Structure 1
Amino acid sequence: MTRADRGQRRTETLALPGVLTVEQAARTVDAVLAVQRPDGAIPWFPGHHLDPWDHIEAAMALDAAGEHEAAGAAYDWLVRHQDADGGWFAAYQDGDPARPTDRSRESNFCAYVAVGAWHHYLSTGDDAFIEHIWPTVAAAVEFVLDLQQPGGQIGWKREAVENGGAAVTDALLTGSSSVHQALRCALAIAEHREEPQPDWELATGALGHAIRRHPERFLDKGRYSMDWYYPVLSGALRGPRALARIEEGWSRFVVPGLGVRCVLPNPWVTGGETAELALALWAVGESDRAVRLLADMQHLRADDGLYWTGYVFEDDAVWPVERTTWTAGALLLAVAALGGDEATTAVFGAERLPNGLAPACCPPRL
């Protein structure tokens, strides 16, 4: 089989009219693979840092493209380099575990291994993998839940040991929403293994309630588009409330023809946020708008198949001058969901993920 034949076979489901051809999808997948290190690490781009969350997003995109061996290597990197307390550092220079550049440990970065692990299992059906990674997932969940506050929200990080190692109790809505999705995936893994985790169920329910009902428990980051759409993307909000939230922020954050602003009032659209919003739109039945957004962000596509992180439209300038694996990963996952990829739709559609145990005052998803 030629390289071109192999590329077509693994990416034919990632073709999306008006967004990606089969050949373009193959080029993007090859570009992500070219950045991956032999040890499985996927930094943002060669010479830059790896953070665990974006590493996992890129690995999930590889699974969506059928590159299961490469994705498995990315998860093995996490297994090998998890700290004894269940966390990972926030950044490693070029994915080198011996060169951490940010020794704090962020809760959503650490939790996301559960999302990636469940996605990889659903993509491969590999029971040996899920048994192999289960101790890693369980330890990461315990690390994260040690940061949960009485109101259900998740403190956003633990400081580096050399800075005292203190828990930062302030909570971020985006990060807590991502943790909520991760906890539900962890519960799905536990159910699959027939190993109930009642404490995780309670924690998941309390966190979901905080996200849906108590915005005052989170730092005010309303200028950032991620705080707008992440409760929807993560599955914490669905139904009329999710659609109302999307409509409320649309005119503030979406720049027609270009994509989604990262932060107000900056005239800067970013590919990662655009693709993630498209994935959130798909999850609430707004596929047409999702496709239009993905088509709009193609101005960020580079010749090598990767995507520029962002574009300052008032200056007609790409900024920063970097092409990131996670931007490409977000796009590929959005396209995979729109194309009906079973693992991706299960993880981001969220209908089949456990909800946890909601507080007595409120049922889930309302």
Structure 2
Amino acid sequence: MTVPEHTARLALPGVLTAEQAARTVAGIAALQREDGAIPWFRGHHLDPWDHVEAAMALDTAGEHTRAAAAYQWLADHQNPDGSWYAAYADGDATRPADHGKESNFCAYAAVGVLHHYLATGDEVFRSRMWPVVSRAIGFVLRLQQPGGEIGWRREPDGTAVPAALLTGSSSVYQALRCALRLADLRGEPQPDWELAAGRLGHAIRVHPERFLDKSRYSMDWYYPVLGGAVRGPEALARLAGRWDEFVVPGLGVRCVLPNPWVTGGESAELALALWAAGDTRRATEILRWIRHLRAGNGLYWTGYVYADQAVWPEEQTSWTAGSVLLAVAALTGDPATCQVFGGQDLPTGLSPDCCDPAGHRAH
């Protein structure tokens, strides 16, 4: 198989050869509809967050036309309030499968748009997508709570759900920082977004009590690192703290305790979080472990129940493959991926006058 130069850069010893990377990219591309939508797999649904993750993976391999089509799908089907529905049957915009609107799903468009711009330098794309990002962030911030956390959903009848998820809010924090970078590029300061990002980052770092208790899920463990709210020694300490609970040596990362089930998406995302925290050795090791989830067509099985030695569910999702490619892209130095997940050049927002450095509430 002829491997394009950009895809060949995704080769990572012990994880992917250039030919294997090309097959994974082709596998994601084969799931994309003609209108740009990327469902989990054909016949299943599309959700906006995983759609963006798959588009970002395409950009890492130089498939910029396909990625742009995915973002155009978002532009074409954004709701008037700036949102997207939580799910669309087979990626068909005329068939919403869940009329709820989830905050982190809507915010993530900002991450993808900045990633695509950094990968391509396409100023026309950036200008065209700016109103889309701006409306989406407006929708999300209308769900922000007084403590800084982001309510996770607006119900189909319009009712706002104030309860916040740590994983979702951590993802929104990354998206807000990417949106602020896009605003900087336009020369259009967004002070309200800066305040919102600062309050949100502070809540993630200092106030776990403001979020629903989902500590059984590995995403709540590593997402504050992956989303960029926790970095440096604190990030390494956080990842070390529950390592033995969630990591199954040789197999990958558990999705939820106490289930004996490792999943490719969580494993690749943890690898990306480890890379962001500076631990490239263990990041690479985890990606090597999940080779057992790789299918012959280049896609990845969603998960593996090791107690039964069985693949489950029997599905190969675009977002699992996408998460692997994004982790590999970071480890191999892809500039756009390193910038949006490394975050060194992303604005951090304005910290609130809430607590002293030890986390005690200010009076």
RMSD after superposition: 1.1
Match for residue 297 of structure 1 among 290, 303, 311 = 290
TM-score by length of 2: 0.97
In the TM superposition, what are the counterparts of 1:37-48 in structure 2 within 5 Å?
A: 37-48=33-44
Match of 1:357 in 2: 350
Q: Determine the C-alpha separation between the residues in 1 that align with 2:267 and 2:9.
A: 21
Q: State whether structure 2 residue 76 is matched by structure 1 residue 80.
A: yes
Deviation (angstroms), 1:311 = 0.3
Q: State whether structure 2 residue 307 is matched by structure 1 residue 311.
A: no
Q: Determine the C-alpha separation between the residues in 1 that align with 2:278 and 2:151.
A: 32
Match of 2:280 in 1: 287
Aligned residues: 358
Amino acid of the residue matched to residue 242 of structure 2?
G
Q: Determine the C-alpha separation between the residues in 2 that align with 1:23 and 1:315.
A: 31
- SS of 2:41's partner is coil
Native 8 Å contact 1:86 1:139 kept in 2: yes
Native 8 Å contact 1:281 1:287 kept in 2: yes
Match for residue 175 of structure 2 among 160, 168, 182 = 182
In the TM superposition, what are the counterparts of 1:108-147 in structure 2 within 5 Å?
A: 108-147=104-143
Deviation (angstroms), 1:10 = 3.0
Identity, in percent, stands at: 69
Match for residue 328 of structure 2 among 326, 335, 339 = 335
Match for residue 152 of structure 1 among 127, 148, 151 = 148
Q: Determine the C-alpha separation between the residues in 1 that align with 2:88 and 2:180.
A: 29
Amino acid of the residue matched to residue 181 of structure 1?
Q
Match of 2:226 in 1: 233
Q: Determine the C-alpha separation between the residues in 1 that align with 2:288 and 2:54.
A: 20
In the TM superposition, what are the counterparts of 1:167-178 in structure 2 within 5 Å?
A: 167-178=160-171
In the TM superposition, what are the counterparts of 1:17-96 in structure 2 within 5 Å?
A: 17-96=13-92
Deviation (angstroms), 1:362 = 5.7
Q: Determine the C-alpha separation between the residues in 2 that align with 1:261 and 1:240.
A: 24
- For structure 2, list consecutive stretches of 5 or more residues without a partner in the other structure: none
Q: Determine the C-alpha separation between the residues in 2 that align with 1:180 and 1:23.
A: 35
Native 8 Å contact 1:233 1:276 kept in 2: yes
Deviations 1:197-256 (A, max 9, x none): 000000000000000000000000000000000000011000111111000010000000
Q: Determine the C-alpha separation between the residues in 2 that align with 1:351 and 1:286.
A: 16
Match for residue 224 of structure 1 among 197, 217, 221 = 217
Deviation (angstroms), 1:144 = 0.2
Single out whichever of 303-312 and 352-361 deviates more from structure 2.
352-361
Deviations 1:77-105 (A, max 9, x none): 00000000000000000000011111100
- For structure 1, list consecutive stretches of 5 or more residues without a partner in the other structure: none
Give structure 1 regions of 4+ aligned residues with deviation exceeding 4 angstroms: 361-364
Deviations 1:87-129 (A, max 9, x none): 0000000000011111100000000000000000000000110
Q: Determine the C-alpha separation between the residues in 2 that align with 1:285 and 1:172.
A: 26
